[in-house]
Amino acid sequence: MDGVLIVNKPAGMTSHDVVNQIRRIFHTKKVGHTGTLDPMATGVLIVLVGKACKILQFLKDTDKTYQAEIALGYSTDTMDVHGQILEQKPIDWNFDFEAVLETFLGEHQQLVPMTSAKKINGKKLMEYQRAGQKIEPIYQNINIYSIQPLDPEKLLFEVHCSSGTYVRSICDEFAKKTNNLGCMKSLVRTSVGRFDLDDAQTLEQIKTNPHFYSILSLLDHLPCIEIKDPQNVYHGKPLALDTDSDLVLLTHDQDPLSIYQKDASGLYRSKRGLW
Protein backbone atom coordinates (compact mmCIF):
# COMPACT_ATOMS: atom_id res chain seq x y z
CA MET A 1 0.00 0.00 0.00
CA ASP A 2 1.58 3.25 -1.17
CA GLY A 3 0.15 6.74 -0.88
CA VAL A 4 -0.80 9.65 1.36
CA LEU A 5 -3.55 9.72 3.98
CA ILE A 6 -5.07 12.92 5.38
CA VAL A 7 -5.95 12.12 8.99
CA ASN A 8 -8.18 14.08 11.36
CA LYS A 9 -6.15 13.50 14.51
CA PRO A 10 -8.21 13.18 17.70
CA ALA A 11 -7.23 14.84 20.98
CA GLY A 12 -5.22 12.72 23.41
CA MET A 13 -3.08 10.99 20.79
CA THR A 14 0.46 11.86 19.76
CA SER A 15 1.32 12.00 16.08
CA HIS A 16 3.39 8.87 16.65
CA ASP A 17 0.31 7.14 18.12
CA VAL A 18 -1.50 7.86 14.85
CA VAL A 19 1.41 6.45 12.85
CA ASN A 20 1.32 3.26 14.95
CA GLN A 21 -2.42 2.92 14.36
CA ILE A 22 -1.91 3.24 10.59
CA ARG A 23 0.89 0.64 10.75
CA ARG A 24 -1.47 -1.82 12.41
CA ILE A 25 -4.32 -1.11 10.00
CA PHE A 26 -2.21 -1.73 6.88
CA HIS A 27 0.29 -4.19 8.38
CA THR A 28 3.34 -2.21 7.37
CA LYS A 29 6.17 -0.46 9.21
CA LYS A 30 6.67 2.03 6.38
CA VAL A 31 4.54 4.85 7.76
CA GLY A 32 5.52 8.41 8.70
CA HIS A 33 4.01 11.87 9.09
CA THR A 34 4.96 15.31 7.76
CA GLY A 35 4.74 17.39 10.94
CA THR A 36 4.10 16.75 14.62
CA LEU A 37 0.75 17.81 16.07
CA ASP A 38 0.52 18.21 19.85
CA PRO A 39 -1.30 15.44 21.77
CA MET A 40 -3.89 17.96 23.03
CA ALA A 41 -4.46 19.27 19.50
CA THR A 42 -6.82 17.98 16.82
CA GLY A 43 -6.96 18.35 13.07
CA VAL A 44 -5.10 17.70 9.86
CA LEU A 45 -2.13 15.32 9.97
CA ILE A 46 -0.56 14.16 6.70
CA VAL A 47 0.55 10.52 6.90
CA LEU A 48 2.83 8.87 4.33
CA VAL A 49 2.49 5.13 3.68
CA GLY A 50 4.86 2.77 1.85
CA LYS A 51 6.89 4.36 -0.96
CA ALA A 52 5.34 7.73 -0.11
CA CYS A 53 7.68 7.91 2.92
CA LYS A 54 10.48 8.66 0.45
CA ILE A 55 8.95 11.94 -0.80
CA LEU A 56 8.89 13.88 2.49
CA GLN A 57 11.80 16.22 1.62
CA PHE A 58 10.22 17.08 -1.75
CA LEU A 59 6.75 18.07 -0.55
CA LYS A 60 5.73 21.63 -1.35
CA ASP A 61 2.51 21.82 0.70
CA THR A 62 3.99 22.68 4.08
CA ASP A 63 2.25 25.90 5.20
CA LYS A 64 -0.38 25.41 7.90
CA THR A 65 -3.53 27.02 9.28
CA TYR A 66 -4.57 26.76 12.92
CA GLN A 67 -7.36 27.91 15.18
CA ALA A 68 -6.20 28.49 18.73
CA GLU A 69 -7.48 29.89 22.01
CA ILE A 70 -5.41 31.82 24.55
CA ALA A 71 -5.76 31.48 28.33
CA LEU A 72 -4.58 34.48 30.38
CA GLY A 73 -3.75 34.85 34.05
CA TYR A 74 -1.04 32.23 34.43
CA SER A 75 1.96 30.67 32.71
CA THR A 76 2.96 26.99 32.57
CA ASP A 77 6.12 25.01 31.89
CA THR A 78 4.64 23.69 28.61
CA MET A 79 3.06 26.96 27.40
CA ASP A 80 -0.35 25.24 27.39
CA VAL A 81 -3.08 24.65 29.97
CA HIS A 82 -1.96 21.06 30.58
CA GLY A 83 1.42 22.02 32.04
CA GLN A 84 2.51 22.84 35.57
CA ILE A 85 1.60 26.39 36.61
CA LEU A 86 4.74 28.49 37.06
CA GLU A 87 3.25 31.87 37.93
CA GLN A 88 -0.11 33.62 38.28
CA LYS A 89 -1.23 37.24 38.19
CA PRO A 90 -4.43 39.23 37.59
CA ILE A 91 -5.43 39.69 33.95
CA ASP A 92 -4.92 43.09 32.35
CA TRP A 93 -7.72 43.42 29.77
CA ASN A 94 -6.52 46.80 28.51
CA PHE A 95 -5.64 45.70 24.96
CA ASP A 96 -7.11 45.50 21.44
CA PHE A 97 -7.16 41.80 20.50
CA GLU A 98 -7.03 42.34 16.73
CA ALA A 99 -4.36 45.04 16.92
CA VAL A 100 -2.05 42.85 19.02
CA LEU A 101 -2.54 39.87 16.68
CA GLU A 102 -1.53 42.04 13.72
CA THR A 103 1.90 42.63 15.31
CA PHE A 104 2.73 38.99 14.57
CA LEU A 105 2.39 39.38 10.80
CA GLY A 106 5.42 38.77 8.61
CA GLU A 107 8.80 37.16 9.08
CA HIS A 108 10.49 37.01 12.44
CA GLN A 109 12.38 34.74 14.81
CA GLN A 110 10.29 32.67 17.18
CA LEU A 111 11.27 30.98 20.41
CA VAL A 112 11.05 27.20 20.06
CA PRO A 113 9.19 25.73 23.08
CA MET A 114 11.08 23.27 25.25
CA THR A 115 8.15 20.87 24.79
CA SER A 116 8.88 20.56 21.06
CA ALA A 117 10.33 17.58 19.19
CA LYS A 118 12.99 19.77 17.54
CA LYS A 119 16.37 18.10 17.89
CA ILE A 120 19.50 19.82 19.20
CA ASN A 121 22.68 17.71 19.16
CA GLY A 122 20.61 14.65 18.35
CA LYS A 123 18.26 15.10 21.30
CA LYS A 124 14.70 16.45 21.34
CA LEU A 125 14.10 19.64 23.32
CA MET A 126 11.36 17.87 25.30
CA GLU A 127 13.95 15.31 26.41
CA TYR A 128 16.17 18.08 27.79
CA GLN A 129 13.15 19.47 29.65
CA ARG A 130 12.16 16.09 31.11
CA ALA A 131 15.72 15.52 32.30
CA GLY A 132 15.82 18.97 33.92
CA GLN A 133 18.71 20.03 31.68
CA LYS A 134 18.93 23.71 30.79
CA ILE A 135 20.12 24.79 27.35
CA GLU A 136 20.33 28.12 25.56
CA PRO A 137 17.01 29.32 24.05
CA ILE A 138 16.51 28.17 20.45
CA TYR A 139 14.98 30.52 17.88
CA GLN A 140 13.98 29.82 14.29
CA ASN A 141 12.77 31.90 11.37
CA ILE A 142 9.03 31.74 10.66
CA ASN A 143 6.52 33.62 8.54
CA ILE A 144 3.00 34.56 9.62
CA TYR A 145 1.01 35.08 6.40
CA SER A 146 -2.25 36.05 8.11
CA ILE A 147 -3.65 36.16 11.64
CA GLN A 148 -7.12 37.28 12.65
CA PRO A 149 -9.54 37.15 15.59
CA LEU A 150 -12.44 34.68 15.48
CA ASP A 151 -13.92 35.35 18.93
CA PRO A 152 -12.38 38.23 20.94
CA GLU A 153 -14.21 37.24 24.13
CA LYS A 154 -12.70 33.74 24.06
CA LEU A 155 -9.37 35.04 22.68
CA LEU A 156 -9.86 32.63 19.78
CA PHE A 157 -7.89 33.36 16.60
CA GLU A 158 -6.87 31.84 13.27
CA VAL A 159 -3.33 31.90 11.92
CA HIS A 160 -1.91 30.91 8.53
CA CYS A 161 1.82 30.33 8.91
CA SER A 162 4.95 28.70 7.59
CA SER A 163 6.02 25.22 8.58
CA GLY A 164 7.90 25.20 11.90
CA THR A 165 5.67 27.81 13.57
CA TYR A 166 4.70 27.05 17.18
CA VAL A 167 1.27 28.39 18.05
CA ARG A 168 1.90 27.97 21.78
CA SER A 169 4.77 30.43 21.40
CA ILE A 170 2.37 32.90 19.75
CA CYS A 171 0.02 32.55 22.74
CA ASP A 172 2.89 33.06 25.20
CA GLU A 173 4.19 36.08 23.31
CA PHE A 174 0.69 37.55 23.01
CA ALA A 175 0.39 37.48 26.81
CA LYS A 176 3.75 39.21 27.24
CA LYS A 177 2.81 41.91 24.70
CA THR A 178 -0.34 42.69 26.70
CA ASN A 179 1.37 42.79 30.12
CA ASN A 180 -0.08 39.40 31.04
CA LEU A 181 0.83 35.82 31.75
CA GLY A 182 -0.72 33.30 29.39
CA CYS A 183 -0.60 30.02 27.52
CA MET A 184 -2.42 28.06 24.83
CA LYS A 185 -5.86 26.73 25.79
CA SER A 186 -6.82 24.82 22.62
CA LEU A 187 -5.47 24.09 19.15
CA VAL A 188 -6.98 22.80 15.91
CA ARG A 189 -4.93 22.43 12.72
CA THR A 190 -7.47 23.22 10.02
CA SER A 191 -5.21 22.82 6.98
CA VAL A 192 -1.81 21.74 5.73
CA GLY A 193 -1.03 23.10 2.29
CA ARG A 194 -3.85 22.17 -0.10
CA PHE A 195 -5.52 19.80 2.40
CA ASP A 196 -8.08 20.89 4.98
CA LEU A 197 -10.46 19.24 7.45
CA ASP A 198 -12.94 18.43 4.65
CA ASP A 199 -10.27 16.17 3.14
CA ALA A 200 -9.38 14.49 6.44
CA GLN A 201 -10.58 11.08 7.59
CA THR A 202 -10.91 9.78 11.12
CA LEU A 203 -9.00 6.63 12.05
CA GLU A 204 -12.30 4.71 12.05
CA GLN A 205 -13.03 5.86 8.49
CA ILE A 206 -9.52 4.85 7.42
CA LYS A 207 -10.09 1.36 8.85
CA THR A 208 -13.22 0.83 6.76
CA ASN A 209 -12.76 2.99 3.66
CA PRO A 210 -9.33 4.63 3.36
CA HIS A 211 -8.80 7.34 0.75
CA PHE A 212 -5.23 7.52 -0.50
CA TYR A 213 -3.75 10.43 -2.43
CA SER A 214 -1.15 9.25 -4.94
CA ILE A 215 2.54 10.05 -4.83
CA LEU A 216 2.16 11.69 -8.26
CA SER A 217 -0.52 14.06 -6.96
CA LEU A 218 1.73 15.22 -4.10
CA LEU A 219 4.64 15.82 -6.49
CA ASP A 220 2.61 17.63 -9.14
CA HIS A 221 4.77 20.76 -8.67
CA LEU A 222 7.71 18.93 -10.30
CA PRO A 223 8.11 18.51 -14.09
CA CYS A 224 7.30 14.91 -14.98
CA ILE A 225 9.21 12.92 -17.62
CA GLU A 226 8.15 9.42 -18.70
CA ILE A 227 11.05 6.97 -19.11
CA LYS A 228 10.63 4.03 -21.53
CA ASP A 229 13.51 1.92 -20.18
CA PRO A 230 14.03 2.30 -16.42
CA GLN A 231 17.22 0.24 -16.13
CA ASN A 232 19.58 3.25 -16.22
CA VAL A 233 17.51 4.85 -13.49
CA TYR A 234 17.59 1.70 -11.35
CA HIS A 235 21.37 1.74 -11.62
CA GLY A 236 21.57 5.45 -10.73
CA LYS A 237 23.19 6.52 -14.00
CA PRO A 238 23.27 10.24 -14.93
CA LEU A 239 20.87 11.26 -17.68
CA ALA A 240 20.61 14.07 -20.22
CA LEU A 241 17.03 15.35 -19.97
CA ASP A 242 15.16 17.88 -22.07
CA THR A 243 14.21 20.29 -19.28
CA ASP A 244 15.59 23.37 -17.51
CA SER A 245 14.19 22.47 -14.09
CA ASP A 246 16.55 21.76 -11.20
CA LEU A 247 14.44 18.82 -10.00
CA VAL A 248 12.39 16.45 -12.17
CA LEU A 249 10.18 13.47 -11.46
CA LEU A 250 10.82 10.43 -13.66
CA THR A 251 8.02 7.93 -14.20
CA HIS A 252 7.71 4.56 -15.92
CA ASP A 253 4.29 3.36 -17.07
CA GLN A 254 2.88 6.40 -15.17
CA ASP A 255 4.34 5.16 -11.87
CA PRO A 256 6.81 7.36 -9.92
CA LEU A 257 10.33 6.05 -10.46
CA SER A 258 12.87 8.56 -9.18
CA ILE A 259 13.58 12.23 -8.54
CA TYR A 260 16.60 13.52 -10.46
CA GLN A 261 18.53 16.75 -9.90
CA LYS A 262 20.67 18.74 -12.33
CA ASP A 263 24.41 18.84 -11.56
CA ALA A 264 27.03 21.44 -12.50
CA SER A 265 27.65 19.77 -15.87
CA GLY A 266 23.99 19.97 -16.87
CA LEU A 267 23.37 16.24 -16.49
CA TYR A 268 20.72 14.91 -14.12
CA ARG A 269 21.59 12.51 -11.32
CA SER A 270 19.40 10.47 -9.02
CA LYS A 271 18.39 12.40 -5.90
CA ARG A 272 15.92 9.82 -4.53
CA GLY A 273 14.71 6.52 -5.93
CA LEU A 274 11.00 5.90 -5.41
CA TRP A 275 10.73 2.19 -6.22
Q: Do the Cβ atoms of 62 and 193 come closer than 8 Å? A: yes
Rounded to whole angstroms, how far apart are CA atoms 70 and 21? 31
CB atoms within 10 A of CB 101: 23
At 46, give phi and psi (nearest 5°).
-85, 125
Classify strands 182-192 and 64-72 as parallel, antiparallel or unpaired: antiparallel
User: What is the 3-state composition of the chain as percent helix, strand, coil, each rounded to the nearest 5?
Assistant: 20, 35, 40
Rounded to whole angstroms, how far apart are CA atoms 184 and 146? 19
Annotated active-site residue 244? The verdict is no
Q: Which one is catalytic: 2, 38, 80, 172?
A: 38
Return the active site residues.
Answer: 38
